[in-house]
A and B are shown apart, each in its own frame.
Chain A
Amino acid sequence: MKEDAAKICRRLLDSREVDGVLGLEMVGNIPTPKVFAQADDLGRFEVEPVFPIVTLLRNIWPFTGKERIALVVRGCHELAIKELAKREIVDLKRIHMVGMACSEEQARTCRCLRPYPTKTDIGTKVKGVEDELAKSLRKMTLEERGRFWEEQFKKCNKCYGCSENCPVCVCEDCALEDCAFVRTEGIPPSKAFHIIRAYHVADKCIECGECERSCPVAIPLRSLQRMLADDIKELFGYQAGMDDRQSPVVTTLEDAPLKEESE
């Protein structure tokens, strides 16, 4: 897979279609993020493991001028870039996406419903995997669910990995870093931390699972986001990344009437 990706990126760089390729470089055994500006460097180009490449793109974006950037995107990365473009944080005209389908094993680890981008340049599409944990959580009673999450949240050491690595956690003034909402001292943090984090990304979460992957204590945040995505679809008929319209939480009722309105 990485040879195909490197070949495509080399062609893009040679033809001057893009000015840089954002990707991973093998330094020893460690994949390290890098912007490749010379085609000759692409020898150490790497596409595995899954990496929060969109978060990187978002972080370097203010430092770019007119350069066009290419990057190898998975299904989730593509949706994340779309969500960022919708909020005018990045400009789609300056981004070249090379689509890559995930392997079956990867889709299973991520419990991903859509492990492929719209346009697949590398790899073959595999079928999506249902999130069994989210399903079983739905079947539990309220008390059981409360106990489950309480046990999980007890492990949290407030490292902020889930929000720092999230590609769509974009507020400039972070509510999680505001001591009015989350106290500075104390571990584990209060439930406010988790409720506010989930609420803030709810309307833009594209379910890449980066929160869960970054979590050092393995809280199954991916399943929480899955349940929340279902809720949003039920309430507003909206799917982050797939819909071109604005997030329903920041619009008036006209384009998405709720049930309560008809009363």
Chain B
Amino acid sequence: MPEFEPRILAFCCNWCSYAGADLAGVSRLQMPPNIHIIRVMCSGNVKPEYVVKSLVEGVDGVLVLGCHIGDCHYISGNHRTIKRFALLERLMDDLGIDKRRIRVDWVSASEGEKFQKVVSEFVAQVKSLGPNDIRRDAA
């Protein structure tokens, strides 16, 4: 049986993390090919609904990457991200859904290596969790 390859969505903010991903690419850093990047203007406009929807539609894990706290292009956009996802993770825990399928992290434009590290770690983590079981047909 072939090894389980998770499908992972990464929401990257335009100003830091997307540039960080770009840097990781041009620096030829090796990382697993399981992630699909969606560029958003700010991590603060990633609604928890988007993340819930992706999980319900069958994505195995969701990464939300933004600028470091204090470096947000929109001053306080990521303050919202951190609070929203802290709450969403608690809610998922209450409902008996593994919150390790979500990860919020900060990657700046100069941190190509951190991007590689976060992605590799997260892919390994989701791989160990196995396929997503909160899909629509399972619910």
Contact = CB atoms under 8 A, between A and B. Distances in A.
Nearest to B97: A146
Helix, strand, loop or mixed for chain A's interface? helix
Helix, strand, loop or mixed for chain B's interface? helix
Counting chain B CB atoms within 10 Å of each CB, which of A146, A149, A188, A192 scores highest? A192
Contact of B82 (A147, A149, A198, A258): A258
Contacts of A228: 90-91, 94
B88 A191 contact: no
A14 B84 CA distance: 49
Interface stretch (A27-35, A60-68, A73-81, A230-238): A230-238
B83 interface: yes
B56 A190 contact: yes
Contacts of B84: 249
Interface string A175-216: 100001101001011111011101100110000000000000
Nearest to B50: A181
Contacts of A145: 94-96
Interface residues of B, number: 27
Interface residues of A, number: 46
Q: Which 8 A-B pairs have the closest CB atoms?
A: A146-B96, A145-B96, A231-B90, A192-B56, A252-B76, A252-B79, A253-B79, A190-B136
Interface of A: 137, 140, 142-150, 153, 175, 180-181, 183, 186, 188-192, 194-196, 198-199, 202-203, 224, 227-228, 231-232, 235-236, 248-253, 256, 258, 260-261
Given A181-B52, A231-B90, 11 more contacts: A142-B98, A145-B95, A147-B96, A150-B96, A150-B139, A190-B136, A191-B95, A236-B83, A252-B79, A258-B82, A260-B82
Interface of B: 48-49, 52-53, 56, 69, 76, 79-80, 82-84, 86-88, 90-98, 134, 136, 139
